[in-house]
Amino acid sequence: MKLTTNTQVSVDGVMQGNGGRHPDLDPGFERGGWARPLFDDEAMTFVNEFYQRADAFLFGRRTYELFAGYWGVREDLENPIVGALNTRPKYVASNTLTDPKWANTTVLSGDVAAAIRELKAKPGGELQVHGSGNLVRWLLENQLVDEITLLVCPVVVGQGTRLFPDSGPDTALDLIESRSFPKGITLQVYRPAGPPQYATD
């Protein structure tokens, strides 16, 4: 399976609280929900179709619990996102989660990198990661990501957790696809391409 990430980010790189305010998960973060008003029908169609492409999903613990509490309790399986998330295998990278409540969930603990490599070696289409910022950063550091999908929203949030840290590994990216949606969201799909080149003069 190809490991693909899907992340909604602001122009200043923030990914925290894109869908709404969550005082328990994001204490003190008052600017949640910055992405939702910017999603028009075309952008939502892309998101729905993206979920439908998944053969399985991989989450960090925080995003897993958020999704389980929202998507996992819904029964309207005709919704493309609800149907995909509730009928396909889910994996959680966590050394602390022991009793997942969401059906069809497997916890990956211990040597998580080896477990993910085993998943990627299986036949199939996409192993998708949605949100899960800490996990995405770790996956990139361990060179486990095949494609990065960014939905860049035309807003400067000004605070919050960013997708990429101030200091971290460097990676060249090949642009695979780019398009824009009516309310200004831009889609950028990248493939990691090894170390970047730097000018020497």
Q: What is the pLDDT of residues 49-73, one digit of tens each?
A: 999 999 999 999 989 999 999 899 9
Average pLDDT, the chain: 94
Per-residue pLDDT at 124 = 86
* CB-facing half-sphere around the CA of 42: CA atoms within 13 A: 10
Question: What average pLDDT does this structure show over 176-199?
Answer: 96
Two tokens at 112? 């998580």
Per-residue pLDDT at 104 = 95
Q: Distance (Å, rounded) from C-alpha 199 to C-alpha 30? A: 41
User: Do residues 184 and 38 touch, judged by C-beta distance below 8 A?
Assistant: yes
Question: What average pLDDT does this structure show over 90-106?
Answer: 93
Per-residue pLDDT at 172 = 96
pTM: 0.93
109-152 confidence digits (pLDDT tens): 999 999 999 999 999 899 999 998 999 999 999 999 999 999 99
Q: Which of 27-31, 82-86, 98-102 has the highest mean pLDDT?
A: 82-86
Within 10 angstroms of residue 184's Cβ, the number of other Cβ atoms is 14
